[in-house]
Amino acid sequence: MSGSYLKAEHLIFREALRKFLAVEAVPHYDQWERERIIPREFWLKLGEQGFLCPWLDEAYGGLNADFAYSVVLNEELERVGTSLVGVGLHNDIVVPYLDAYGTEEQKQRWLPRCITGETITAIAMTEPGTGSDLAAIKTTAVRDGDSYILNGEKTFITNGIHADLIVVACKTDTAVKPSYKGVSLLVVERGTPGFSRGKKLDKVGLHAQDTAELIFQDARVPAANLLGEEGKGFYYLMDKLQQERLIVGISAQVAAEEMLRMTIDYVKNRKAFGQAISQFQNTQFTIAELATEVEIGRTFLDDLIDKHMAGQNVVTQVSMAKMWLTEMAKRVAGSCMQLHGGYGYMEEYPIARRYRDVPVAAIYAGTNQIMKTIIAKNLGL
């Protein structure tokens, strides 16, 4: 939270956002988790306050804000709870595709409602049989006059139930070699004939986050909804993954900071054998180690945010951060739950939810094994 990228205006923005979330999110979060969904009204309230896509150009209703505002947003949403990741996905992962590769007509049509919260977005890459292997996707889009006929299934789609606009990775050319050259991006709108949602997926954690299956059966998508050029989809996806993985790293870091904070507070107040648990050397050593890792993570992350904002290519370092920070957050979760003792396993203690919510960060946005592959390749191995 102390990066050089944060200026006075970002701190004012953070304070306003915290006050908003303290009223509109914190008191309702447990209910959202029980109901397994965040209501659309919350998105509209975010939009009203300027908390959706503030980086977009004023021409579309944005504030021309820099990436540091996105950092603040993702940090404060994570502090409330990881189930709010769908907001960061909309703000800093999906809408950037529309802004970067959309035509002026597409941007005028879609972006203003993304800012108000009337339109919620998702990106559909993963399929039941592909996982991290994007080039192997089976979803196809065949040109038919002024439309594409889209067929296939997607799974694990964040915002899948609420999404009004979905950027779908599909094959517009199944014959070209290498196969990734046949990937294109089509924007599918709510209500498209032939498009349906499967079940809302029941996850170990992130209970309030609506993750779903999407099904396309001869879905007729206007050719005007092609994003960018045919066959360039894979390159577009690769281009945007640096920021996506940085967002995941930010969430993991904040989750670790929150777990450490709540655990320090807990061990100071919990008594055993006539003294506070914090007085035992084992507790002190464990927390000292965790605090050191969390501090290292923050330093590395802040440096990367600075470089990303300066427009530097830090794909290798971001892959390192995504891998290391998410693994570190998992270690912190395990140790902090242990220090809570039996209470750590009770749902009424927030460490239990954090313990369930953290592991998936090592899987989405490219598994940590994929991160290692990228790092190794970029090291010339």
- The letter for the amino acid at 262 is M
3-class SS at 306? helix
Contact (CB, 8 A) for 195 and 133? no
Q: For residue 189, list its beta bridge partners.
A: 165
3-state secondary structure of 154: strand
- Taken as a whole, the chain contains a residue count of 381
- Annotate 100-135 with DSSP letters as a single string: HH--HHHHHHHHHHHHHTSS-EEEE---TTTTT-GG
Using only C-alpha atoms, the chain has a radius of gyration, in whole angstroms, of: 21
Sign, CA dihedral 148-164-83-61, equals: positive
Q: Residue 334 corresponds to which tokens in the numbers above?
A: 């395990």
CA–CA separation, 147 vs 192, rounded Å? 12
Which candidate in 244, 258, 293, 327 is catalytic?
A: 244
Interacting residues of 64 by C-beta distance below 8 A, sequence separation 6+: 55, 56, 57, 58
244: annotated active-site residue: yes
Tell which phi-psi region holds residue 99, choosing left (phi > 0), alpha (psi between -120 and 50) or beta: alpha
Q: Is 48 strand, coil or helix?
A: helix
CA 268 to chain centre: 33
- Structure tokens given for 285: 């050593």
Distance of CA 96 to the CA centre of its chain: 13
Collapsing DSSP states into helix, strand and coil, what is residue 178? Answer: coil
CA–CA gap between residue 6 and residue 68 (Å, rounded) = 6
CB 17 within 8 A of CB 72: yes
Q: Are 86 and 364 in contact (CB under 8 A)?
A: no
Tell me the catalytic residues.
244
